Copies of this chain bind each other. A is one copy, B any other.
Amino acid sequence: MIRHFFAFTAAMVMAAALPFAPARADEVLAGQLPPALQTQLADQYDQVIADLVRITETPAPPFKEDKRAALFAQMLRDAGLADVTIDAEGNVIALRPGREDVPVFVVSAHLDTVFPEGTPITVTRDGDRLLAPGIADDSLGLASILAWARLLEANDISTRQPILFVGTVGEEGAGDLRGVRHLFTSGAYKDRIGAFLSIDGADAARIVHAAVGSRRYRLAFKGPGGHSYGAFGIVNPMAAMAETVRGIYAIEVPSEPKTTYAASLVSGGTSVNSIPDEILLDLDMRSGDPAELIRLEQAVLAAAEAAVAGENAARSVRAGTITLEPQLIGDRPAGSTPADHALVQTALAASRAAGFKARIDDSSTDSNIPMSLGIPALTIGSGAGGGRSHSLDEYLNIPRERFVAGMSVGFAIILAQTGAELR
Contact (Cβ within 8 A) B245 A239:
yes
Contact (Cβ within 8 A) B389 A226:
yes
Contact (Cβ within 8 A) A266 B284:
no
A284: chain B residues at CB < 8 Å are 228-229, 272-273
Contact (Cβ within 8 A) B330 A173:
no
Q: Per a CB cutoff under 8 Å, which of B62, B116, B243, B273 touches A172? A: B273
Contact (Cβ within 8 A) B236 A263:
yes
- Asked if A274 is at the interface of the complex by the 8 Å CB criterion, the answer is yes
**Chain A stretch 268-327: residues in CB contact (< 8 A) with chain B:** 268-277, 279, 282-284, 286, 314, 319
Contact with B along A219-236 (1 / 0, CB 8 A): 000001111111011001
- Asked if A174 is at the interface of the complex by the 8 Å CB criterion, the answer is yes
- Asked if A242 is at the interface of the complex by the 8 Å CB criterion, the answer is yes
For the complex formed, measure the closest distance between the CB of A181 and the CB atoms of chain B, giving whole angstroms. Answer: 16
Contact with B along A361-384 (1 / 0, CB 8 A): 001100000000000000000000
A262: chain B residues at CB < 8 Å are 228, 232, 236, 273-275
Which chain B residue shows the least CB distance to A173?
B271
Q: How far is the CA of A262 from the CA of B268 in the complex (A)?
A: 13
Which chain B residue shows the least CB distance to A223?
B391
A283: chain B residues at CB < 8 Å are 272
Contact (Cβ within 8 A) A272 B174:
yes
Contact (Cβ within 8 A) A264 B272:
yes
Contact (Cβ within 8 A) B260 A236:
no
Contact (Cβ within 8 A) B286 A264:
no
Contact (Cβ within 8 A) A236 B224:
no
Contact (Cβ within 8 A) A271 B62:
yes
Contact with B along A382-397 (1 / 0, CB 8 A): 0000001111100000
A260: chain B residues at CB < 8 Å are 228-229, 232-233
**Chain A stretch 204-228: residues in CB contact (< 8 A) with chain B:** 212, 214, 216, 224-228
Contact (Cβ within 8 A) B173 A273:
yes
For the complex formed, measure the closest distance between the CB of A250 and the CB atoms of chain B, giving whole angstroms. Answer: 9
- Asked if A238 is at the interface of the complex by the 8 Å CB criterion, the answer is yes
Contact with B along A3-40 (1 / 0, CB 8 A): 00000000000000000000000000000000000000
- Asked if A195 is at the interface of the complex by the 8 Å CB criterion, the answer is no
For the complex formed, measure the closest distance between the CB of A215 and the CB atoms of chain B, giving whole angstroms. Answer: 11
Which chain B residue shows the least CB distance to A262?
B228
Given that A114-B273, A263-B236, A266-B269 are known contacts, is A286 also in contact with B391, CB under 8 Å in the complex? no
For the complex formed, measure the closest distance between the CB of A248 and the CB atoms of chain B, giving whole angstroms. Answer: 8
Q: How far is the CA of A390 from the CA of B231 in the complex (A)?
A: 10
A272: chain B residues at CB < 8 Å are 173-174, 216, 264-265, 282-284, 329-330
Contact (Cβ within 8 A) B228 A238:
no
Q: How far is the CA of A239 from the CA of B263 in the complex (A)?
A: 8
**Chain A stretch 331-388: residues in CB contact (< 8 A) with chain B:** 363-364, 388
Contact (Cβ within 8 A) B270 A267:
no
A258: chain B residues at CB < 8 Å are 229, 232
- Having A114-B270, A239-B245, A262-B275, one finds 17 other A-B pairs with CB under 8 Å, namely A114-B273, A116-B271, A216-B273, A224-B391, A228-B390, A232-B260, A238-B264, A239-B249, A264-B272, A264-B275, A267-B267, A267-B268, A270-B390, A272-B283, A274-B390, A277-B392, A319-B388
The 7 closest A-B pairs by CB, nearest first: A242-B245, A265-B269, A232-B260, A228-B262, A173-B271, A114-B271, A242-B242
Instruction: Provide a sorted-by-A list of 30 A–B residue pairs whose CB atoms are within 8 angstroms.
Output: A114-B270, A172-B273, A173-B271, A174-B272, A212-B229, A214-B273, A224-B391, A226-B390, A228-B264, A229-B258, A232-B258, A233-B260, A236-B249, A236-B262, A238-B263, A238-B266, A239-B249, A242-B243, A242-B245, A242-B246, A262-B275, A264-B270, A264-B274, A269-B282, A271-B390, A272-B283, A272-B330, A273-B390, A274-B390, A274-B391
